Amino acid sequence: MPLPPARDKLLFTPGPLTTSLSVKQAMLHDAGSWHFEFNALVASVRDRLLKLAGVSRESGWETVLLQGSGTFGVEAVFQTCVPPDGKVAVLTNGAYGDRIIQMLKHAKIEHAVLRTAEDRPADPAALEALLSTDKAVTHVAVVHCETTTGILNPIATLGEVCRKHGKVNIVDAMSSFGAIPIDLEACGIDFLISSANKCVEGVPGFSFVLCRRAVLLACDGYARSLSLDLLGQLKGFEKNGQFRYTPPTHSILAFDQALRELDAEGGIGARGARYRRNHEALVEGMKKLGFRVYLDPSVQSCIITSFYFPDDPKFTFEQFYRRLSDKGFIVYPGKISQADTFRIGSIGRLFEADMRALLLAIGETVKEMGIQLNK
Ligand SMILES: *Cc1c(COP(=O)(O)O)cnc(C)c1O
């Protein structure tokens, strides 16, 4: 058997991410799903998520954990919360917005699509125009940080439009929650979805939904799915403190530790500041090497950055990827339909020194491949 590497390759990806050793070590236990100590941990995780989001049960908020990756949490919201005669307006400018449309098609839920180009944020004026004319719309859905490119959508302004028209507001904040402050009340959010393995820096295994309790309770009877029934899941927690079906025990143990480490770092503000420093070091270094950033800085998040392929036929992403992997760095392919790009994430347990090490490796790789960059 070959010897395992001294340390794992660093993940410059949109998740799962590089996690701390202590988060990984937290999983070196067996936990009984039925056992009171585990249930107490689940309750504590739910309480701390509400606190992290800056809301409380007293002010009408609730949080539900759901087995599976982030997509399962997003789909559960639509499966559970849209009435049979409901209609969802989806603002999309990337693959995750498009995935919401796919979910609605599968669930046979009526929807209207407001599309902007992949490098353009969602447009509140377009939403205003739609809601003024299409009175059938009951729900609005948008992705906060569209991880396809790294673009940020204006959830505060979109939330105002939703509130003005009295629509239920659903935000996929998968890749932003935990790093970019989100004022749930000010943004008029009813459902916010994120998952364990993004900016909280846990490991994959579950998603979580923060929501207004009254809005969720009003959805009784709508659920089109048994396992993705968010209200059913909440009732399960409230009945006996348990997940309805086998919980992701190790993932919860890791998440408990990840939440402690988020606190120790100084909370969302400090984590976001670290990611911003990572992002800035990355962009500065990549520009020096001659790479071009896809998005305009005014709409670019600090979560993940898309770079154009160099204008040199000697560049292939496969070669570039493999050579970086051999050096211990994992980057990410692009997902944009309108341009040839690759992506580099700045989230996870990564620091400026890691970004600089990556930049050195990219510089070497470019030389090895004999790629000309226009500096
Ligand atoms: C990661 C992510 C998801 C969920 O993807 P999974 O692969 O199911 O975890 C959804 N939306 C956004 C914006 C994401 O970044």
pLDDT at position 353: 98
Which residues does ligand 1 sit against, CB inside 6 Å? 14-15, 69-71, 96, 143, 147, 172, 174-175, 195
60 pLDDT exceeds 80? yes
Specify whether 107 is located in the same domain as 127. Answer: yes
Q: Residue 363: which pLDDT band, with cuts at 50, 70 and 90?
A: very high
Specify whether 102 is located in the same domain as 241. Answer: yes
Identify which of 148, 174, 306 to mutate to test ligand 1's pocket (most ligand atoms within 8 A of the CB). 174
Query: pLDDT tens for residues 139-164?
Result: 999 999 999 999 999 999 999 999 99
What's the CA-to-centroid distance between 73 and ligand 1, angstroms? 9
What's the CA-to-centroid distance between 364 and ligand 1, angstroms? 32
Contact indicator for 268, 181 with CB cutoff of 8 Å: yes
Last residue of a domain, one of 263, 293, 325: 263
Q: Which residue's CA is minimally distant from atom 6 of ligand 1? A: 70
Task: Please give the model's pTM, rounded to 2 decimal places.
Answer: 0.97
Specify whether 195 is located in the same domain as 279. Answer: no
What's the CA-to-centroid distance between 175 and ligand 1, angstroms? 7
Ligand 1 atom showing the smallest separation from residue 198 Cα: 1
pLDDT more than 70, % of the chain:
98
Examine residue 248 and state whether it is found in any structural domain, yes or no.
yes
Q: Of the given ranges (62-66, 127-131, 336-340), which has the lowest mean pLDDT?
A: 336-340
Examine residue 331 and state whether it is found in any structural domain, yes or no.
yes
Examine residue 145 and state whether it is found in any structural domain, yes or no.
yes
What is the amino acid identity at position 58?
Answer: E
How many structural domains is the chain composed of?
A: 2
d(CA 207, CA 215): 19
Specify whether 257 is located in the same domain as 324. Answer: no
| 53 closest CA partner among 171, 185, 233 | 185
CATH number for the domain that contains residue 100: 3.40.640.10
Query: pLDDT tens for residues 282-330?
Result: 999 999 999 999 999 999 999 999 999 999 999 999 999 999 999 999 9
Specify whether 140 is located in the same domain as 237. Answer: yes
Ligand 1 atom showing the smallest separation from residue 195 Cα: 9
pLDDT at position 290: 97
Last residue of a domain, one of 263, 291, 312: 263
What's the CA-to-centroid distance between 293 and ligand 1, angstroms? 22
Q: Is 213 exposed, middle or buried (0-12, 13-18, 19+ CB in 10 A)?
A: middle
Q: Which residue's CA is minimally distant from atom 9 of ligand 1? A: 70
Specify whether 129 is located in the same domain as 256. Answer: yes
**What is the domain range of residue 101?**
22-263
Examine residue 3 and state whether it is found in any structural domain, yes or no.
no
What's the CA-to-centroid distance between 97 and ligand 1, angstroms? 10
| 292 closest CA partner among 312, 276, 275, 278 | 312
Q: Residue 335: which pLDDT band, with cuts at 50, 70 and 90?
A: confident
